Amino acid sequence: MALKKTMLELHRVGVEEYKEVEKLPVTLVLDNVRSEMNVGSVFRTADAFLIERVILCGITPQPPKAEIHKTALGAEESVSWQYYPTTLEAIGQLKDEGYLICSIEQVHDSVSLEHFIVNHGQKVAIVLGNEVKGVSQEVIDGSDMCVEIPQEGTKHSLNISCCAAIIMWHTYAQLKL
């Protein structure tokens, strides 16, 4: 019978200790995400996979908010975050900092996730879009590339929190494992 690991066995660190841990050179950019719960979920997953920061843009809710905290379980305190009035401002700054801008969207000529390679030492900004409209066309136009998660079935998209988790795991697996 498998027994659950204890908190001691999981080797979890406190918020201040976490802030000192080396992070992956990956920044998440939320392009007008409307749900506080989705934002909280992104923070929680970003904490799990050592993402360096989350950038909240436009109408995306910012901490402190009750629903963000409810789903983030405090990760909004451990993961660094910034706010920009527009996503274009955010990606412009990230380009100036040397980031590769990757929008997660279904577009012609997108790179399928299994072919998306993150090289060690490369700084990557991953843009995730609004729950209904996705990543805005102007942000897609300003991106270096678009990555698409292969899907089958009747639905044409994933919830942003699910999409974010898949992308974060993919980058974590390439850079840490």
Judge whether 57 lies within some domain: yes
Split into its structural domains, the chain has a count of 1
User: C-alpha 94: how far from its chain's center?
Assistant: 14
pLDDT at 156: 87
Bridging pattern class, strands 24-31 and 51-57: parallel
Average of per-residue pLDDT across 50-73: 98
Q: Give domain status of residue 143, yes or no.
A: yes
What CATH number does the domain containing 33 carry? 3.40.1280.10
Average pLDDT over every residue of 62-70:
97
Prediction pTM value: 0.96
Q: Which domain holds residue 81?
A: 21-176
What is the predicted pLDDT for the residue at 11?
87
Q: In residues, how long is the chain?
A: 177
Residue 25 lies in a domain: yes
Q: What percent of the chain has pLDDT over 90?
A: 94
The strand order across the sheet containing 111-112 reads 80-84, 51-57, 24-31, 124-129, 100-104, 145-148, 111-112
Please check whether residue 138 lies inside any domain of the structure.
Answer: yes
